Amino acid sequence: MSEITLFYLKFLLLAGVYTLLGLLIRALVRDLPMPGKPASEPIPQAQDAPGWWLAVLQGQERLEGRSLRLQEELLLGRAPECQVQVNDPFASARHARLVPRGEGVWLEDLGSTNGTYLGAEVVKGGVMLPEGGRFSIGDVTFELVKRA
Amino acid sequence: MRARELGLLAAVLAVVAMALALATRSPEFRGPPPWIWLVVQASAWLIASLVLRWKKAAGDPLLLPLACLLSGLGWVMVWRLDPTLGQRQSLWILVGLLAFILTALAVRDYRRLEDYKYLCLVCGVVLQLAVMLLGTEINGARLWFRVGGMQFQPVEVVKILMILFLAAFLRRYGRWMRLGLLSREGRLPRRALLLLGLGWLAAEGVLILQKDLGMALLFMGIFLTMFYMATGRTDLVLVAGFLFVLGAVAGLLAFSHVRVRVYAWLDPFADAQNTGYQMSQALFSLGWGGLFGTGLGMGEPNRVPEAATDFVFVALAEELGFVGAVAILIAFMLLVTRSFRVAMRAPDEFGTLLAGGLSVLIAWQSLILIAGTVKLIPMTGITLPFVSYGGSSMLASFVILALLTRISARREEPC
């Protein structure tokens, strides 16, 4: 083999090694949990139906600015069974729950690791939230809205 | 899932074959390339993958191909440096794969290992003390037992036993160590302090009696990382790490052997013909490699003493260049990332701590060794997992791989 062929073979081997690493990285990335794609699309609701609504103020790109109607108990957390999927690193699997109760909404922390906050205050057990009440889980902030 | 593992293995083996073909140009290569050994090795890897699938013990499909890439490139380099060692290395890889299959099949339920924690501790301590007191001293460090013509490095076994013990112990008592002293409650975390104190003593003992900084660093690194994984106590980890550094500096001042290594690290050219010889040769070797290397078989990595064991990374860096060396680092990174994924997905806390400890072991060991050979920290006497020549190290690496595979397989099968 000529010198020149040998010279190119050197790069061919390096290219081979890197192609391999590329294949391995692709396989690795494919196994990562991807954001987006909720388990099931939320049922479309009229945006102006009266009653309690839960609005996402900030923190989660996919949900930001959207609101969800609060008719019965809502579960917040990372687990698939939660109606409100909070994909924040500080959220627990079953983080908190919201129960509408006529004049207010009952917010209950379900023993989360990093806590549910009202401003700077940690929610211990449960608390009754009035209209316009704000709370946050990790970096996600929610607001309760009442539509007449 | 399995088809992916086989496909990746085949791709890896193709690259290893290409490397072998190129490496035959070296003057040390007498005779034709060992194609038979390559075929035997390739079939062994594929058989290992198939046996695990057949016995329904298959786990993470990326671990095996990554290990195959690292050990394949290491094997080609060892053979290219010294065909006699290369032949032995081929045998060791086969024995390692056998150990991999046997471990993966024997440990049907890794949670059983938790019951043997004190047995692991006692065996580990006895082995470690035995080698410190009775071992053969090579290059001033007591790390080996010599039986007949074979050398055995008990530390490879000790580190796995230690991780098993720590995972079981921290699973049991870790939750009580999360509180106390600087955290919410005013109590002293007695258990945590006792454990940290004993770990610190052990690391300093290794440093003083065994005269090896790398070993002590590896031990302390694994110990503190596992402690942190179980308790999340940054404060205690920082204090213990600081005390370890203090002890290491004191050891440096007190013991001439360690001091020689540190001086050889600070300025290898001051005594380039004697104590600094290995390091200065390694630096020349690295520099000679440049960006793309001399090409496999075209360099002279044999000029570095111990090129096949401690300095195998330098030999690879000379012939594959900076770009090739980075590829090896990436392969290690992927292996560690993937092992951490196994830890995070493990179904119970013991599995998480065990897999986490094993990943940390691979990470620290490769980091300490590579950093030592490129003059980032003083050179040490430990091996590069899967890549370096050496029977005990190869066997231990495959046992680690088997345990990781077992833990990752757990969630797929019904309990």
Q: Which amino acid is located at B27 in the chain?
A: P
Q: Is A84 left (phi over 0), alpha (psi -120 to 50) or beta?
A: beta
In the structure, what pLDDT confidence band is assigned to residue B414 with cuts at 50, 70 and 90?
A: very low
- Residue A54 pLDDT > 50: yes
Given pLDDT bands bounded at 50, 70 and 90, which one contains residue B379?
A: confident
Burial B319-355 (b: 16+ CB within 10 A, else e): bbbebbbebbeebbbbbbebbbbbbebbeebbbbbbb
B29-51, pLDDT tens digit by residue?
Answer: 666 778 888 999 999 999 999 99
Q: Do A6 and B295 touch (CB under 8 A)?
A: yes
Task: List the single best residue of A14, A18, A28, A113 to mutate versus B (max B Cβ within 10 A).
Answer: A14
Taking residues B83-93, what's their average pLDDT? 89
Q: Residue B53: CB partners within 8 Å, gap ≥ 6?
A: B2
Question: Hey, which residues 286-315 in chain B have their CB within 8 Å of chain A?
Answer: 292-293, 295-296, 298
- Mean pLDDT computed over A36-56: 62
Q: Which residue of A has its CA nearest to B338?
A: A28
The first and second tokens of residue B200, run together, are 């610190």
Angle at B61 between CA B55 and CA B63, to 5 degrees: 105
Residue A40 has pLDDT above 80, yes or no: no
Give the total residue count for chain B.
415
Q: In chain A, which residues have their Cβ closer than 8 Å to the Cβ of B330?
A: 21
Residues β-bridged to residue B138: B141
- The type of residue at B312 is V
Q: Are B409 and B59 in contact, with CB atoms under 8 Å apart?
A: yes
Query: What pLDDT, on a 0 to 100 scale, did the predictor assign at position B23?
Result: 84
User: What pLDDT is stored for residue B142 in this prediction?
Assistant: 67
Cα-Cα-Cα-Cα dihedral sign, residues A49, A51, A56, A61: negative
Give pLDDT, residue A146. Answer: 81
Kindly report the length of chain A. Answer: 148
Task: Supply φ then ψ for residue B161, to 5 degrees.
Answer: -60, -40
Which of B15, B25, B323 comes nearest A16 by C-beta? B15
ipTM of this predicted structure: 0.80
Of B380, B383, B392, B388, residue with least CA distance to B212:
B380
- Chain B contact for A14 (CB, 8 A cutoff): yes
Decide if pLDDT at B412 tops 50.
no
pLDDT digits (tens, 9 = 90+) for B304-363: 888 888 889 999 999 999 999 999 999 999 999 999 988 888 878 888 899 999 999 999
Asked if B325 is an interface residue toward chain A (Cβ–Cβ < 8 A), one would say no
Q: What is the pLDDT of residue A36?
A: 53
d(CA B339, CA B146) in angstroms, rounded, equals 33
How far A48 CA sits from the closest chain B CA (Å)? 42
Q: Which of A72-76, B69-73, B175-179 has the lowest mean pLDDT?
A: B175-179
User: The dihedral of CA B114, B115, B120, B122: what is its sign?
Assistant: positive
The shortest C-alpha distance from A35 to chain B (Å) reads: 17
Enumerate the domain spans of chain B. 113-254
Buried b (16+ CB within 10 A) or exposed e, B369-379: bbbbbbbebbb
Residues near B388 by Cβ (< 8 Å), separated by ≥ 6?
B74, B308, B309, B310, B312, B369
Q: Which residues of B touch A27 (CB under 8 A)?
A: 4, 8, 61-62
Is B9 within 8 Å of chain A by CB? no
Of A17, A21, A28, the CB nearest to B338: A28
| In the predicted structure, residue B415 carries a pLDDT above the cut 50 | no
- Give the residue among A59, A68, A113, A111 at the shortest CA–CA distance from A86: A59
